Structure 1
Amino acid sequence: MSTFSSLGTTISSIFIRPAFLFYAIIISVFSLTVTACSDQNESEAAQFFLKGNLQLEQKEYAGAIHYYDEALAKKSDFADVHSNRGIAYLRLGELDKALEDFNKAIDIDRTFDQAYFNRAGALIDKHEFSLAATDLEQIRKSYQDSTNYYLKWGDLKSQQGYYEQALSEYDRSLTLRPENVQALVNRGVIYFTKKNFKEAQKDFEQALKLNPQQELAYNNLALIFARNKQPEKALQFIDRALDFDAVNPIYLNNKGYVLLLQNQFEEAKKLIDQSLTKAPENSYAHRNLGIYFLHKGQKTEALSAFQKSYSIDPSTDQIHAWLGEALFLNNQKEKACKMWRQGQSLGDEESSVKFTQKCK
């Protein structure tokens, strides 16, 4: 375990990266009835649709889109194809294209509940919370007994910052289906956010019992073990997450942080740099880079990294303490004290200690 004695800040006392949620979607299986009397285009469209679904299930999203394109070339008003192609675009991170497809599916069929459900998820990602809520209300009667319906409401409330409401929705989802792994992981995230780490750990561990392939649970447990000053165990879990997705920028940054805890600074920086190459707006990666620079005595570079982290997300955990320290080391005491005082007002204990020690 490493402590920067010159800074008075213990690395292991801060988080790596907030645990994060993942969202449920509903894949259309088939709604186009193909009979002996169907015309050739409809029959071919149906075949391309089924091929696209197979690719979607295998997470071959580009391949799925190719077959869905072929289906739509045969039958442009095939609502299920638009909905499923929207899912493929969503999985590729092409949010605007996904929304276009969900909108088109609903334009074709105003009663297409699955498309409303999936569009709600995309709207949550876009932070269009009011529109997402409208879509979910639209299908409440149809989905009132669906575990994933309340999972989606939980996701919406979570993204809005209404954590108690989110917990209530996830609880309802799990009442309907206790083995809903997504609801367990996402409820664990809320517990984590509320610093109820015991309950968070229980949810993540239960999720892994139900599905040992659940990579987000491994990632999120790594955060808890790191916080509990168990970097060796944290490393085991973050490595397991990386086994599933070796280039995930969140996982790479998290492993970099765990390596900082183990004094493997150069290897940590390599991973943090890789993370930033893939996700340059990750405020936690910039913060971790600042920690690395402080260890190396590069106070100017550290200040720049912390300022970048703060500019991206001023709620980044303990950024006020770290940025204040870098300002202080760069002979900017007044700004440092202001930063620590701000952190103190937000409940950051490290900022409070720094302010008391150096500003009074």
Structure 2
Amino acid sequence: MQKTYLQTAFVGWIVLASASLGWGQDVKALITEAAKLSDTAQTQEELTKVIELCTTSAHLELAPPQVEYFNNLEAWARNKRGELYSVASLESEDPAEIRKFEAAALTDYTLAVQKNPKHWQAVHNRGLSYAVLGETEKALSDFDTAYQLNPKFDTALYNKAEMLYEGGKFSAALQAYQQVLKANPKDVGAMTGQAHCFYRLENYESAMIAYGQAIKLAPDNAMVLANRADAYSDLGYWKEAILDYKQALTLEKDLPRAQQGLAWILATCPDDKFRNPELALRFAKAAVAQTDFVDFRFYDTLAAAEAAMGQFDTAKQRVGEAIKAAPRTEKPFLQHRLALYEKRQPYREPKR
């Protein structure tokens, strides 16, 4: 998802004196102070002061326009403070801290929306917090609402598509990506997402066309090339996959995704002419070296390359680490490869 939180500026209206509206000296002073604070407020402490001023206004006798002013100002300040919590969440690697920051952000976004239900930025930001906290349905609902409030804000649609895709709802995700592309035909992320959906729906011809269109939109984007290479590899188009991986590495020589994908083909391809165990081992090691955690796919690839080189003892250890880190659905495939290495046999992809 696009998790860039919206840095917004409050644009309000201020009428400092109007007898017809009944603005007293206390109200005028409060509005003057609130306007001054909101003009420069950036830190959590400064935004909290703005919120406290707005809370104070609830104890005064206000005309409807004044109530609206303070509600809008508080919504702005709470959304902006929520963004600070969300940024802190993005920068943290501690799961407990992430949940704490997102919970604080969620509270501010929710109160912002209560004060101003048309504050589409706060609605969208709340959706992002719900997504981080695993509240999928609430996140999707907020993305829909944000887009309804501001039909030009297609980032909300894109994030909806991403969540649907991650949840395995490929047909619904495809529709959302296509809505984004209708508004912005040059959106590379949406074009790539559309390609992924076509692929998962087994519409391979449309998938490859969409991957090609994404590459035309971003010819210097190594990850887009790696995406198409993955699809070629899955379909058994080894030559085309190798060319795309190599082109991706020409653009970004240390891209782990491309290193791993290329290493897998060079180690396991059923066609002898494409296998190169030594080069596979080099790329597989490079990919693993760039990750600070056990990515089961990278370790599985390194094990396959080691087995292709006849290093079965280390291959067994490596695939054992992959099994520990892999999701339950992937473990049977890894255990099958472990059984091969125990018999001192390398793994080969089936012929397509």
TM surpasses 0.5: yes
1:82 aligns with 2:120: no
1:264 is matched with 311
Task: State the Cα deviation string for residues 250-298 of structure 1 (Å, max 9, x = none).
Answer: 11112112222222222211111111112143243122012124349xx
Q: CA deviation at 1:237?
A: 0.8
Q: Which amino acid aligns with 1:197?
A: W
Structure 1 pair 61–190 and aligned structure 2 pair: CA distance change class (3 A): farther
Q: Which amino acid aligns with 1:252?
A: Y
Structure 1 pair 236–317 and aligned structure 2 pair: CA distance change class (3 A): closer
Q: Which amino acid aligns with 1:85?
A: S
Structure 1 pair 186–99 and aligned structure 2 pair: CA distance change class (3 A): farther
Secondary structure of 2:275's counterpart equals coil
Structure 1 pair 194–281 and aligned structure 2 pair: CA distance change class (3 A): closer
Question: Aligned Cα RMSD in Å?
Answer: 2.9
1:148 is matched with 189
2:145 is matched with 107
Moved more, 216-225 or 174-183: 174-183
Give the structure-1-normalised TM-score: 0.66
CA distance in 2, matches of 1:206, 1:87: 34
Task: State the Cα deviation string for residues 74-111 of structure 1 (Å, max 9, x = none).
Answer: 2313223234335646xxxxxx5345323333235423
CA contact (8 A) 1:119 1:132 kept: yes
Moved more, 235-244 or 31-40: 31-40
2:282 is matched with 236
CA contact (8 A) 1:265 1:292 kept: yes
Ranked by relative contact order (alpha carbons within 8 Å, sequence separation 6 or more), the top structure is: 1
CA contact (8 A) 2:304 2:315 kept: yes
User: Counterparts of 1:25-44 in structure 2 under 5 Å?
Assistant: 25-30=1-6, 32-35=8-11, 36=38, 39-40=73-74, 42-44=76-78
Secondary structure of 2:284's counterpart equals helix
1:53 is matched with 87
1:291 is matched with 340
CA distance in 2, matches of 1:50, 1:171: 38
Structure 1: 5+ residue stretches without partners = 1-24, 90-95, 297-305, 307-315, 319-346, 349-360
Aligned partner (choices 264, 282, 299) of residue 252 of structure 1:
299
Q: Which amino acid aligns with 1:260?
A: A
CA distance in 1, matches of 2:286, 2:92: 20
Task: State the Cα deviation string for residues 225-255 of structure 1 (Å, max 9, x = none).
Answer: 2133322211111111112224001111121
Q: Which has the larger radius of gyration?
A: 2
Task: State the Cα deviation string for residues 201-227 of structure 1 (Å, max 9, x = none).
Answer: 222222223334421111001012213
1:355 is matched with none
Secondary structure of 2:220's counterpart equals coil
2:49 is matched with none
Aligned partner (choices 180, 189, 192) of residue 221 of structure 2:
180
CA distance in 2, matches of 1:210, 1:235: 21
Q: CA deviation at 1:64?
A: 5.1
Aligned residues: 271
1:8 is matched with none
Aligned partner (choices 281, 288, 300) of residue 329 of structure 2:
281
